[in-house]
Amino acid sequence: MRDAERAEPRCERASGSSLNKAMTAFSETLEQLEDAIRAACRAAGRARGEVELMAVSKTFPAEAITEAAKLGLRLFGENRVQEFSSKASALSPRPKGTEYHLIWHLQSNKTARAAELFDGIDSLDSLRLVERLNDAAAELGKRLPVLIEVKLSPEETKSGVAPDSADAVQLLEALPDLSHLEMRGLMTIAPWGAPEPETRACFRHLRQLRDRWAAAHPKLQFDVLSMGMSGDFALAIAEGATRIRIGTALFGKRKPQTERRSQESELE
């Protein structure tokens, strides 16, 4: 028994040492990322405070969110309602001040659960979806911030409304009357693996759409331009991003996924 009692503290110390090393490594990664964001802001003539960092925590465990929150991160992006549902119980109580947004396509049959779980939905792409989401938020007595996802690249794996489509017109005209949704802006994903000029053109197009739609729909807010990920956030900042979504550059590479999950990885 004495040997077992002596062994237990050694295990605790080793575990604590490993955790401290992991936290130190993550802190250093975050510091390097912040340096890169500040440099991109300086190059664009913008203040660092104009750009919000969303940590894309999809596929990572709740513990990763908890440790990130300890270092001051507050905004997290998730892809799947079911995946975050399991994390939410592990995050109870949630780290103080944290927000969790859904950044992948939302199926209309999951709107009730999504409205309950998330603090924002950043991927609206149809009138039917926004109407069901508004009803779900109403039942919860909640006003839910939302973004319209705009599809500005040809990949079939990407969702969103085409900028000049009837779907876009319907969304913009309906949102002012949906009192349980708070329109905040637009989101897009640049073409995967595209050269820099094409990527910048995509981000510029979203900014121009924002300006045009804001002028045409003064009852709606367009404060948020969510664009730019681990590999292209500097270009997005140069073109006016107010929110960048960072996953692998912050949390590291994810484990191999199925083909469907690998397609979803474009969101980070």
- The rounded distance, in Å, linking the Cα atoms of 37 and 42 is 9
Q: Which two tokens stand for residue 210?
A: 């924002």
pLDDT along the chain (268 residues), means of 10: 37 52 85 98 98 96 94 96 93 93 94 97 96 98 98 86 94 97 97 94 98 97 97 98 96 63 46
* pLDDT at position 13: 41
Cβ contact 181:220 at 8 Å = no
What is this structure's pTM?
A: 0.87
Q: What are the domain boundaries of the chain?
A: 2-267
Q: Tell me the C-alpha distance between 255 and 189, whole Å.
A: 22
CATH number belonging to domain 2-267: 3.20.20.10
Closest CA to 169 of 109, 229, 127: 127
- Which tokens hold the place of 164? 């000049």
